[in-house]
Structure 1
Amino acid sequence: MGLADRTPPSEADHFAYRERFSNWGRWGDDDQLGTLNHITPEVRAHAASLVQAGRAVSLANSLDTRPGPRNPFPVSHYLRWHQGIAWDFFAINYHGLTNTHIDAHCHIFTDDEEPRLYNGKPASLVTATGAKSGSVEHWRDGIVTRGVLYDIPRYRGTDHVSYEEPVHGWELEDCAKAQGVEPRSGDAVLIRSGADAVQRALQSGTLQPPSEGGSITVPGAPPRPGVHASALEFLYEYDASILAWDLQEAAGQGFEGNGGPIHQIALPYMGLPLLDNANLEAVGVACAELGRHEFQFVCAPLVIWGGTGSPVNPLAVL
């Protein structure tokens, strides 16, 4: 089941992904980069050659200080000033459905009887003072590679993806072909599902969520359409270095485990960083205007020792 026959994985298939797509030991027992190892000096140099129009586009949402069903832990931000000098205070719980952030490997454990982190490290290495393995400071040199935008709504001719038709791995292959792009090892895969349009449609009532189920990651938030677990095979077979997406997993897939069905394979087994809640609207417009969907992708996580991730402002440079 998978890309070859365009069939979604069964629950048994998805469970088998734990071994089938595992990168444990692939780059050594002490590896902390995971699929970022696919970004070689040659890959970075090629990415630099893609800067042709000199146009830089942010892929981040503004930090969200507004509480709501999708944002139960809003960002706390206030300013102080004294004698002509102003300064800020921030408190951020960045994981969730609103703030643009990168997930480190230690964000999701395996759901075995003895939980593990990426590369088989014991989950007990995650402590209240920080994670001793799989944490975000190992990516302090940044992620610079070729980015490819898979603009699914434009490919389909719609405003956004639907609950009935999540983004499958084989559709990513079809979309790449239609856009004139060949997937390459080390790519940052950016999947646009139309998050802004989905949110507007939910608020206006023109999009009705399923009557059963809710958000995969945030209790109380409405379920959202998005990407199917079948995309994992695409990411593994084409040696993607990182996945950036605006809507995360599609609701209603029915797979058990920690987090969503892509999170629970990508982070602890594949070692694939996830860039959640990317804002891909502006880069979608830029790619449509320029007639190209590849660019230099740049992401520099904060150096947070022992951190499970970091808020980020990634860039597409065209």
Structure 2
Amino acid sequence: MTELNINAASLAPAGFDIDTWLADTAGAAQFDLSHVMAKGMPIHPAHPPFHITLNNRHGDTVRYCGHSSANELMCGSLHSGTHIDALCHASSHGKLFGGIDAAEAQAGTELFKVLGAETIAPIFRRAVLLDVAGVLGVDALEPAYEVTAADLDHCLAAADTEIRPGDVVLLRSGWAAYWADSPRYLGLDSAGAPGPGVEAGRWLAAHRPFAVGSDTSAFEVMNHHDITLEVHKILIAEHGIHIIENLDLQALAASPHRTVALVALPPKIAGATGAPLRPIALA
């Protein structure tokens, strides 16, 4: 039998140098764009509460060698904390992206048969930060502020870059600063939370990104007097664009970088409408 000698270098595509990539990555500025998941963190009212507790404690079972272990039980939606929406998350007039019948896709007890979280590709992509709050000269947008296409044009000009098809577009409202205050962060004690309206949603879709994301719980504007979630419909159901919510963009916005490499690996959860995410920006 011939012995196989397989190493990482032999699996790398031609032209890819592992050592160079590792050295470049180690030398890059790194920004963790996720929030810590914990009991009491903000959860959008459309989703069930998040709960985590110890299931087994050290000392409950002690092996003869002295070993003991602990583990936890976690309950909640996969739309808790920083997460990405799968394409089965939103529908338009009963249809998922690609014209798939939503009722048929979710029939039965095994979640979605198509477009679940397991189909979200690993993210190794160029990302562009559009700092709406920064361009408007405020620390954070006002409650229920509707981000317009003109706002996004100004942000793109200020970033002095372009959005290319397949990029990830990150919108900063400044509301990550309110993460520790759930009612304020969710807009429950005000007119609502800021975000793009329909006009800006169509602007984003026209640039054909792989995903868009923001530092709020619902990405789009949440005006309590008129909540439609039409931007979700436009992006996810009509254009197949993923949405990332509950990002922490504060440190990245404080840096000079507006174009970064984004790395994130969504867990492959069969049939799920979303997945937790820990995005890292490299610049």
Do the two structures share a fold, i.e. TM-score over 0.5? yes
Tell me, yes or no, if structure 1 residue 136 matches structure 2 residue 117: yes
Tell me, yes or no, if structure 1 residue 312 matches structure 2 residue 283: no
SS in 1 for 2:198: coil
The Cα offsets for residues 158-193 of structure 1, whole Å up to 9 and x where unpaired, read as: 111114642112211211111212222211000010
Residue 66 of structure 1 and its aligned partner are, at CA, apart by 1.5
The Cα offsets for residues 4-41 of structure 1, whole Å up to 9 and x where unpaired, read as: xxxxxxxxxxxxxxxxxxxxxxxxxxxxxxxxxxxxx9
The Cα offsets for residues 245-286 of structure 1, whole Å up to 9 and x where unpaired, read as: 1122212387675xx12112211111111111111122222x
- The structure with higher relative contact order (CA 8 Å, sep 6+) is 1
Distance 1:202 1:133, change over 3 A: closer
Residue 67 of structure 1 and its aligned partner are, at CA, apart by 7.0
Match of 1:300 among 265, 271, 276: 265
Amino acid aligned to 1:169: A
Q: Which residue of 1 aligns with 2:3?
A: none
Give 1 or 2 for the bigger CA radius of gyration.
Answer: 2
Q: Which residue of 2 aligns with 1:150?
A: 130
The unaligned stretches of length 5 or more in structure 1 are 1-40, 42-47, 211-222
Alignment of 1:165-244 (within 5 A): 165-198=145-178, 209-210=190-191, 223-244=192-213
Amino acid aligned to 1:265: I
The separation in 2 between residues aligned to 1:178 and 1:283, in whole angstroms, is 15
Amino acid aligned to 1:251: M
Tell me, yes or no, if structure 1 residue 61 matches structure 2 residue 58: no
How many pairs were matched up? 249
**Contact 1:249 1:262 survives alignment (8 Å):** yes
Q: Which residue of 1 aligns with 2:98?
A: 119
**Contact 2:144 2:195 survives alignment (8 Å):** no
The Cα offsets for residues 259-315 of structure 1, whole Å up to 9 and x where unpaired, read as: x12112211111111111111122222xx2xx2211111121101111111111111
Q: Which residue of 2 aligns with 1:275?
A: 244
Amino acid aligned to 2:50: P
The separation in 1 between residues aligned to 2:199 and 2:272, in whole angstroms, is 29
TM-score relative to the length of structure 2: 0.76
**Contact 1:51 1:296 survives alignment (8 Å):** no
Amino acid aligned to 2:114: S
The separation in 1 between residues aligned to 2:43 and 2:269, in whole angstroms, is 28
Alignment of 1:251-266 (within 5 A): 251-252=222-223, 260-266=229-235
The separation in 2 between residues aligned to 1:309 and 1:191, in whole angstroms, is 19
The Cα offsets for residues 222-263 of structure 1, whole Å up to 9 and x where unpaired, read as: x21222222222222212110111122212387675xx1211
What fraction of aligned residue pairs are identical, expressed as a percent?
Answer: 24
SS in 2 for 1:106: coil
Amino acid aligned to 1:126: Q
Q: Which residue of 2 aligns with 1:14?
A: none
Match of 1:88 among 71, 85, 90: 71
TM-score relative to the length of structure 1: 0.69
Distance 1:87 1:181, change over 3 A: farther
SS in 1 for 2:196: coil
Report the structure, 1 or 2, having the larger strand content.
2
SS in 2 for 1:240: coil
The separation in 1 between residues aligned to 2:205 and 2:42, in whole angstroms, is 35
Q: Which residue of 1 aligns with 2:8?
A: none
SS in 1 for 2:164: coil
